[in-house]
Structures are given as structure tokens and as C-alpha cells.
């Protein structure tokens, strides 16, 4: 079924040729939804047409409206408000849409084909020196939802993770464990492996600050003390040994990383996150070093007297960027150069999206420039989705000081909060204990995911756990409860006939159908802008509109059997769309609540 906006544009182009002898492209016809205070469904903006009509806005709109109404049965009526032609769409269009495509769970989606654009999207990218925290949750939820949205709009998507499993930060946790661990492991400590390693990352920072303070008290300057702290020197030496493949250092590194990976896997499963491939910096940094040294030989990079290798970015309006330290060890940029090269060689992507916080804007700007200097034109296909920071009402979190909110702890809190609020509202009284646990998990995780994804990724945000579980307002539980209400009505009306007939659609019914008609455009825009909040907030508006309809009109006890059938179609379509949209956000919708 052809979309009404396209029909309107085609007819407008025909009108321009017929009435004004003007050739008009569809792309130059502006069609938008009619504002609620005016009568109509869609509006043609008349002002761009005046150069063809040579008439006033009112005359142009009137003549165009007459032509459109005469040319198509789908245009029932029109009115002109200054330079805007408001069109009333015939009920038959909405009924055919409701009887057909609108009720399909795949409405608005496209299936990727062999020739579809290939998109690689990297997200998560954790360090193996600490557990995933609230900031990682936003990263993972954004990456996973954007992947689903891109797939739903016809892209071939490959979801990848890059684990930062090497570097000075990893050595800090290892060193602290050597100093204070006394052989502790996840089994003996009863801790998840990522939490255990994170404990020693915090411990390293405590030791480091203590040593710095001692040096300062003995007369050393703060800057000198920070550079000369014994534990920092030992960590740097451990990194050098790691790159030299010292067996003892490598063995400890593998053991502690394995602890972390097991912990990460549990967290990912709970979040509903998955990847098509995981890359490890320990496996790509050498390629990065090779590419940097090749660039040095070719003269696009330069070496300082101490042996360090740099890129001169002054022509690009930036500074000089270190790529290899004087001791030959790599920096983040080096390994990202190697990883990007390996990925393109493997997949030849049409675009590569990095989902990384906005504190890394400079890093990804430099990465593209360095790759171009090394001769890789595909660097133009790299895109950094720079998302804002997420904080708690208490303020910013700091990993080194142990003030972060671990992802696991937060998910536990969400499920507990969901149960408390559900019990306060009497929503769990009819369920078994097993059902209560399942529903509270769905509500808690839905609240967490929705609250984060409803915010534009580029904005900073504050996450309030209790506010997110509110069953009223723009929250996940509100939408989940709406879906459960729809499913309840559908179960009760299972034996009733569903179909459109001669019944007139009332204004509220048309508004609901017209709103659902917009979903493909919302989905397309979300994919184009990499913004899941467009889908999230559309789901809220749809749920809100449905609840108003449900409040104002009876469904199963409508005046006629035809009205019952028609309204069952409408709520079936709404339920399918809520389920489809929430699935794009990674959120489950319970059948009963």
C-alpha cells in the first residue's frame, strides 16, 4: 500500500504541470502532519509553489486543493490557512491501512539484502581492570539498540566489541594484587571476577596516593612525587615486561583477565547484550605498531631524539600526537589504528560507528587523520557517536576512587525497586512467586533501559532509579503496563470478530491510526541520526494516546459489533507496534502485569 505522503506529492507534481505548466520534483514538495488545532491530517506547504503559480498563497492553496480532491478519492476535504493547505484523508485509506500492513509486527521494517550497506558498530569496549558500571550501561544499551534499529532499516550490521586488555591500567590492578592479594581469587573471595580485579584497581590508587603524599611530606614537589612514586615505576616496568612477553607477567595477566571475562559475560547476558565478534587490544596493538613504523619509514610520521614516534597534526589545526613511547610501547591510538585496519581488511565496511563517550572526541578526530596520513581513504567511513555522560543524583562517578555504581549492583537495585513499587500499587497480588520474579526483572530492566534510551545520546543525563520505575509518565513500566493492558483486552475479545466494515472511524481512532502510520518515518530518522530516543519517545506518545482512547471509549462493550471488531484491530496494531518498538530498545514487554 503506497504511503499517503507520496501520493500527495505525486498529485501535487501533476497539479503543477496541469495548472501552471511547471515541472516539479517530488523532493521539492513539503508535506507535514497537520497541527492539532487545525482540521486535517496532512499539510502541503504552499509557499515554495508560489514561483510556479504566480498567485497569492491563498489562491495557490485553493486551486491545488481543488485539483487534489478532484483527482483522488483519498482526499476527502481541504482547507487553506494562509500558506498551508490542510488535507483531510478519506476514512477508506485509514481502514485499508488498519486491515493490512499496520497490524504486521514487521510494519516499518526492511530486511537487509546482499547489496545492503554494511555497517560495523563497536560498543562496550571495557577495560579489564574493573567491572562494568553505569556509564558502560549507557554505552551498551545505545550500541545494542542502534544495531537493532540499523538492522530493522535494511542494513547489514556487524556488532563488535574491543576489549582493552593491555596497558598501564591493567598492570596497576595486577601489581596491587601481587602486593596485597595473598592468592585471592573469585572462588575464595566469593566475588565476581570483574569485581575482584576492580577491587585491586582501587587498591593501587590508594597505594599510589599514599606514596605521593609521603614524598611531598619529605620535600618533593607534587609533580615530581606523582612521577617518582615507586608503585607507578613498577607498573610501567610490568607493562614493558608484558610487551616483551615475560612468561610470569603474561601468566598473571591471562589469569586475571579470565576472571574479568567470566564476570563480563554474566553482566552482558543480564543486559541482553551480544556481539558478532570480540577484538582484543593485545592482538591488534602489534599491527598498529607495524603501521606506525611503516608511516615513519615513509616520512608521514616523525621520531624524536628519545625514540618516540609522533604525528604532526598542525595542518589539520591540531597539535602533535604521540603514537609510540620512547621505550617502544604502544598508546591507545596505536592499537586503534591496528584494530581499524584489521576490521576493514576483514569486512570492507561501508561505515564504522564507534559508540564512545564525548570525552574521547579528540581521540577519534585524530584517529581518522592519522589513518588518512597512512594512506587509508576508508578513514572517511569512520564515525564517532559521541554520547554524553550519565550521572547519579549524587554527582559524577570515579572508578579509581571506587565511587562508581557497578552495573550488577544497579540491576539488582532496579529489580528490588520494581518489586517494592509494584507491591505498593497492588500489581503483583494475583501472581505466583516465580511470576513475580520474572515480571519484576522485566519491569526493572525495562525501567533502566528505557530511562537511559529515551534521552538523546548526545546529551548528558542524570539517572534516578526510583523515578525510572514510576508507572506513570514517560517511563518503561508505563509503556509495559499499556502493552499488558492491550493483551488483556485481546485475550478477553479473542472470540470476537475483528475487521473493518461500514463503521465510521471516530476522531480518536483516526488519531491513533495516523500516529501508527508515522512509525516507518520515526524508525528511518532514528537510524539516520543514530538516536534510539526517537523510537523510545514515540512509544511513549503511542502508549499515552492509546490510554486516552481506552479511557474515553469502550472496546469490548462498544455500541455495535462493528465497532468492537474495528477497535480490536486498532488495539492489536498498537500492541504489535509497542512490542516491535520496545524490542528495538532491547526491552521485554510482559503479557501480564
Torsion sign across C-alpha atoms 268, 273, 275, 280: negative
CATH number at residue 34: 3.30.1360.70
Q: Is residue 105 part of a domain?
A: no
Domain boundary among 329, 360, 391: 391
- Give the residues across from 44 on adjacent strands: 31, 85
User: What pLDDT, on the 0 to 100 scale, is given for residue 238?
Assistant: 95
Q: How far apart are CA 399 and CA 415, in angstroms?
A: 24
Asked if residue 187 and residue 44 are part of one domain, the reply reads: no
Asked if residue 354 and residue 238 are part of one domain, the reply reads: yes
Asked if residue 227 and residue 165 are part of one domain, the reply reads: yes
User: What pLDDT, on the 0 to 100 scale, is given for residue 422?
Assistant: 84
Asked if residue 565 and residue 488 are part of one domain, the reply reads: yes
Domain boundary among 343, 359, 391: 391
Closest CA to 30 of 12, 4, 15: 12
Asked if residue 343 and residue 279 are part of one domain, the reply reads: yes
Yes or no: say if 226 and 212 are a contact pair by the CB < 8 Å rule: yes
Q: Where are the beta strands (DSSP E) in 167-256?
A: none
Q: Is residue 174 part of a domain?
A: yes
Q: How far apart are CA 165 and CA 468, in angstroms?
A: 34
Which helix (H) or strand (E) is 587 found in, with range?
none
For the beta carbon of residue 244, count every other beta carbon within 10 angstroms.
11
Residue 317: exposed, middle, or buried by beta-carbon count in 10 A (0-12, 13-18, 19+)? Answer: exposed
Cell numbers given for 190: 566469593
Cell numbers given for 465: 532509579
Q: Is residue 404 part of a domain?
A: no
Asked if residue 190 and residue 256 are part of one domain, the reply reads: yes
User: What pLDDT, on the 0 to 100 scale, is given for residue 401?
Assistant: 47
User: What pLDDT, on the 0 to 100 scale, is given for residue 397?
Assistant: 44
Number of domains in the chain: 3
CATH number at residue 504: 1.10.730.10
Asked if residue 312 and residue 165 are part of one domain, the reply reads: yes
Q: Is residue 401 part of a domain?
A: no
Residue-range definition of the domain harbouring residue 195? 123-391
Q: Is residue 541 part of a domain?
A: yes
Q: Rounded to the nearest 5°, which phi and psi values hold at 328?
A: 90, -5
Q: How far apart are CA 295 and CA 374, in angstroms?
A: 6
User: What pLDDT, on the 0 to 100 scale, is given for residue 57?
Assistant: 95
Q: Is residue 117 part of a domain?
A: no
CATH number at residue 164: 3.40.50.620
Asked if residue 488 and residue 355 are part of one domain, the reply reads: no
Asked if residue 80 and residue 221 are part of one domain, the reply reads: no
Asked if residue 522 and residue 421 are part of one domain, the reply reads: yes
Asked if residue 441 and residue 387 are part of one domain, the reply reads: no
Q: Is residue 99 part of a domain?
A: no
Q: Residues in the chain with pLDDT < 50?
A: 397-402
Q: Is residue 184 part of a domain?
A: yes
DSSP per residue, 184-204: --HHHHTS-HHHHHHHHHHHH
What end-to-end distance do the CA atoms of the chain give, in Å?
36
Asked if residue 127 and residue 69 are part of one domain, the reply reads: no
Instruction: Give residue for cell 498563497.
Output: 57
Q: How far apart are CA 496 and CA 544, in angstroms?
A: 25
For the beta carbon of residue 82, count every other beta carbon within 10 angstroms.
10
Domain boundary among 63, 89, 115: 89
Amino acid at each position: 500500500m503506497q504511503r499517503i505522503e507520496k501520493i500527495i506529492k505525486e498529485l501535487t507534481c501533476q497539479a503543477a504541470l496541469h495548472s501552471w505548466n511547471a515541472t516539479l520534483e517530488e523532493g521539492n514538495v513539503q508535506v507535514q502532519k497537520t497541527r492539532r488545532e487545525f482540521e486535517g491530517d496532512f499539510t502541503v506547504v504552499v509557499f515554495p509553489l508560489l514561483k510556479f503559480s504566480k498567485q497569492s498563497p491563498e489562491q495557490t492553496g485553493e486551486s491545488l486543493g481543488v485539483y487534489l480532491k478532484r483527482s483522488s478519492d483519498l482526499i476527502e476535504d481541504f482547507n487553506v490557512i494562509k500558506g498551508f493547505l490542510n488535507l483531510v484523508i478519506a476514512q477508506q485509506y485509514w481502514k485499508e491501512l488498519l486491515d493490512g500492513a499496520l497490524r504486521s509486527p514487521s510494519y516499518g521494517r526492511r530486511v537487509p539484502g546482499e547489496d545492503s550497506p554494511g555497517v560495523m558498530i563497536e560498543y562496550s569496549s571495557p577495560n579489564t581492570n574493573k567491572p562494568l558500571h553505569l556509564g558502560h550501561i549507557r554505552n551498551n544499551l545505545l550500541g545494542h539498540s542502534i544495531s537493532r534499529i540499523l538492522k530493522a532499516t535494511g542494513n547489514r550490521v556487524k556488532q563488535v566489541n574491543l576489549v582493552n586488555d593491555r596497558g598501564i591500567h591493567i598492570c596497576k590492578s595486577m601489581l596491587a594484587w601481587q602486593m596485597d592479594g595473598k592468592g585471592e581469587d573469585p572462588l575464595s573471595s566469593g566475588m565476581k571476577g570483574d569485581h575482584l580485579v576492580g577491587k585491586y584497581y582501587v587498591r593501587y590508587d590508594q597505594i599510589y596516593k599514599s606514596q605521593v603524599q609521603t614524598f611531598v611530606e619529605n620535600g618533593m614537589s607534587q609533580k615530581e612525587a606523582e612521577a617518582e612514586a615507586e608503585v607507578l615505576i613498577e607498573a610501567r616496568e610490568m607493562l614493558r615486561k608484558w610487551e616483551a612477553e615475560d612468561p610470569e607477567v603474561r601468566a598473571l595477566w591471562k589469569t586475571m583477565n579470565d576472571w574479568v571475562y567470566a564476570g563480563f559475560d554474566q553482566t552482558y547476558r543480564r543486559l541482553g547484550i551480544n556481539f558478532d565478534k570480540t577484538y582484543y587490544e593485545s592482538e591488534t596493538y602489534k599491527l598498529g605498531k607495524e603501521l606506525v613504523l611503516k608511516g615513519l619509514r615513509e616520512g608521514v610520521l616523525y621520531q624524536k631524539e628519545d625514540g618516540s614516534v609522533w604525528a604532526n597534526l598542525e595542518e589539520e589545526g591540531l597539535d602533535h600526537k604521540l603514537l609510540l613511547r620512547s621505550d617502544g610501547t604502544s598508546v591507545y591510538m596505536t592499537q586503534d589504528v591496528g584494530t581499524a585496519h584489521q576490521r576493514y581488511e576483514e569486512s570492507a565496511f561501508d561505515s564504522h560507528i564507534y559508540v564512545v563517550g564525548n570525552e574521547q572526541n579528540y581521540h577519534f578526530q585524530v584517529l581518522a587523520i592519522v589513518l588518512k596520513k597512512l594512506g587509508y581513504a576508508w578513514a572517511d567511513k569512520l564515525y564517532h557517536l559521541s554520547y554524553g555522560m550519565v550521572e547519579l543524583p549524587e554527582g559524577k562517578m570515579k572508578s579509581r576512587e571506587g565511587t562508581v555504581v557497578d552495573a550488577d549492583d544497579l540491576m539488582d537495585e532496579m529489580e528490588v525497586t520494581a518489586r517494592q513499587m509494584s507491591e505498593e500499587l497492588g500489581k503483583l497480588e494475583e501472581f505466583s512467586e516465580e511470576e513475580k520474579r520474572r515480571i519484576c526483572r522485566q519491569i526493572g530492566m525495562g525501567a533502566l533501559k528505557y530511562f537511559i534510551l529515551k534521552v538523546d545520546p548526545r546529551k548528558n543525563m542524570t539517572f534516578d532509579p526510583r523515578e525510572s520505575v514510576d508507572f506513570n509518565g514517560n517511563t518503561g513500566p508505563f509503556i509495559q503496563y499499556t502493552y499488558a493492558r492491550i493483551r488483556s483486552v485481546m485475550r478477553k475479545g479473542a472470540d470476537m470478530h475483528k475487521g473493518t466494515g461500514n463503521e465510521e472511524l471516530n476522531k480518536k481512532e483516526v488519531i491513533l491510526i495516523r500516529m501508527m502510520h508515522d512509525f516507518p518515518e520515526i524508525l528511518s530518522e532514528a537510524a539516520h541520526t543514530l538516536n534510539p530516543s526517537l523510537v523510545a519517545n514515540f512509544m511513549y506518545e503511542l502508549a499515552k494516546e492509546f490510554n486516552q482512547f481506552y479511557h474515553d471509549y469502550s472496546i469490548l462493550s462498544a455500541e455495535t459489533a462493528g465497532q468492537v471488531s474495528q477497535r480490536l484491530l486498532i488495539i492489536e496494531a498498537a500492541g504489535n507496534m509497542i512490542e516491535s518498538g520496545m524490542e528495538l530498545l532491547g526491552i521485554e514487554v510482559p503479557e501480564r502485569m
